[in-house]
């Protein structure tokens, strides 16, 4: 069984910094860290470890795509992600906000489900926590496609419920750091 892996970089990284802030004692709960924008900026996500954790063995990953905002030119994060096996898709920020990321992830998952995924043989893994993905997952599951969601435990309840399987990253915070 092959896996198609789609990662919302900012979503997993920012929310991971909230979990790390809680773990470091900077907030009384993860939810408090999220609500009050308390982050542990020392926590860094290791793309290779995320690839292996969410996608599995490299030979079993048919596609791995990482979506996010265009970094500064001297930023090495995206190059590191490419070296670890991700196809990197970036967009410019508009007025300080990310635009197009969630929509492109959904569009790419749907397109790939018709063009490269083999129903009954392959599965999709989404690394994001937004309820925005629920309609796409419903449609994919209706076609017989397993969709696993891998994210921090404070992901949208609706997203966790609709996923074929939900895997929490919380217990792996230190394993996923570099």
State how far the Cα of 71 lies from the Cα of 161, in Å rounded to an integer: 33
CATH number at residue 15: 3.40.50.1010
Residues 6+ apart with CB under 8 A from 15: 34, 129, 151, 152, 154
Pick 149 or 73 by higher pLDDT.
149
* Residue-number span of the structural domain to which 89 is assigned: 3-172
Q: Which of 55, 66, 25 is nearest to 42 (CA)?
A: 25
Residue 5 token pair: 């892996």
Structure confidence at residue 98 (pLDDT): 65
Q: For residue range 26-37, list pLDDT tens digits in order.
A: 999 999 999 999
| 97 inside domain | yes
pTM: 0.90
Q: For residue range 24-78, list pLDDT tens digits in order.
A: 999 999 999 999 999 999 999 888 888 888 887 777 889 999 988 766 554 566 6
Q: Into how many domains does the chain fold?
A: 1
Pick 80 or 164 by higher pLDDT.
164
| 177 inside domain | no
Q: For residue range 92-133, list pLDDT tens digits in order.
A: 776 666 668 889 999 999 999 999 999 999 999 999 999 999
Specify the DSSP element, H or E, that contains 70.
Answer: none
Specify the DSSP element, H or E, that contains 160.
Answer: helix 157-162
> For residue 90, which phi and psi values (nearest 5 degrees)?
-125, 155
State how far the Cα of 67 lies from the Cα of 70, in Å rounded to an integer: 9
């Amino acid at each position: 069984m092959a896996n198609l892996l789609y990662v919302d970089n900012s979503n997993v990284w920012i929310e991971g910094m909230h979990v790390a802030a809680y773990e470091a004692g900077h907030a009384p709960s993860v939810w408090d860290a999220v609500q009050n924008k308390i982050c542990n900026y020392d926590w860094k996500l290791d793309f290779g470890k995320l690839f292996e954790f969410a996608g599995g063995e490299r030979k079993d990953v048919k596609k791995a795509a990482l979506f996010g905002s265009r970094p500064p030119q001297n930023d090495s994060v995206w190059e590191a992600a490419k070296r670890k096996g991700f196809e990197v898709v970036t967009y410019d920020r508009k007025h300080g906000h990310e635009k197009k990321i969630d929509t492109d992830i959904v569009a790419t998952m749907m397109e790939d489900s018709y063009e490269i995924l083999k129903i009954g043989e392959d599965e999709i893994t989404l690394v994001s926590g937004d309820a925005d993905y629920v309609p796409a997952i419903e449609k994919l599951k209706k076609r017989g496609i397993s969709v696993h969601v891998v994210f921090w435990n404070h992901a949208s309840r609706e997203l966790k419920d609709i996923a074929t399987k939900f895997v929490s990253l919380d217990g792996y915070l230190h394993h996923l750091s570099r």
